[in-house]
Amino acid sequence: MRQAFHQELARLGTEMTEMCVVCAQAMRQATTALLTANVGLAEQVLGSDIELDLQRAECEEHAEALLALQAPVAHELRLVLAAVYCADRLERMGDLAAHIAGTARLQHPGRFESAELAEGFRRLGELTASMADRLADLIAAPFAGMFAELDDADQAVDDLHARILELVTSQDWKGSAAAAANAALLARFYERFGDQCVSVARRLEFTVTGALPV
């Protein structure tokens, strides 16, 4: 029975890893759609968000079944409960990528007139997708210190978010107020995506140490 239970725990981890992969791909595609005004790619991201919703539901149902049918000890219980929490955060990451894709579709065929702004969003897409990639690795092999690693990576995202806000609110901004507001909102989507990655890493580290890192 315990061997079967551990196999189901491993399967739960695989389900979360698959969600991370979808999130990373969605962020990369959403960013490309945003920068190139690619409506078809934006539609793909919106479709993948539906897939993530289903994956989250399956992950939660699987975790609930393990709690109902098994008697997990402390470490195992932390893993099951973390899966429920993390699946919700990962689904939210998919929502944020979908928001970016939806904006790309809405503003088509428009693109960023500012080269610095476009480069900022390219970097944001690269950094946040890489964070999701790293999360996929960490789910398979969580360790004490993983939260700090992702938190450090998120600092670069926060710095870029702040730079974009500084750019669109400066006296030198030559775009419209609507364009500035749109850029600020988009930057916020990326910043929140990074925050969700950190939140997942924090909860995963808890499964290893039994204490939430700060």
Q: Is the pLDDT of residue 4 over 90?
A: no
Q: Please, which pLDDT band fits residue 191 given cuts at 50, 70 and 90?
A: very high
**The pTM is what?**
0.94
pLDDT in tens, 94-152: 999 999 999 999 998 888 889 999 999 999 999 999 999 999 999 989 999 999 999 99
pLDDT in tens, 55-91: 999 999 998 888 877 766 777 888 889 999 999 999 9
What is the DSSP annotation of the chain?
-HHHHHHHHHHHHHHHHHHHHHHHHHHHHHHHHHHHT-HHHHHHHHHHHHHHHHHHHHHHHHHHHHHHH----HHHHHHHHHHHHHHHHHHHHHHHHHHHHHHHHHHTT---S-HHHHHHHHHHHHHHHHHHHHHHHHHHS--TTHHHHHHHHHHHHHHHHHHHHHHHHSTT--S-HHHHHHHHHHHHHHHHHHHHHHHHHHHHHHHHHSS---
- How much is the mean pLDDT over the chain? 93
pLDDT of residue 113: 82
Question: What share of the chain has pLDDT > 90, as a percent?
Answer: 79
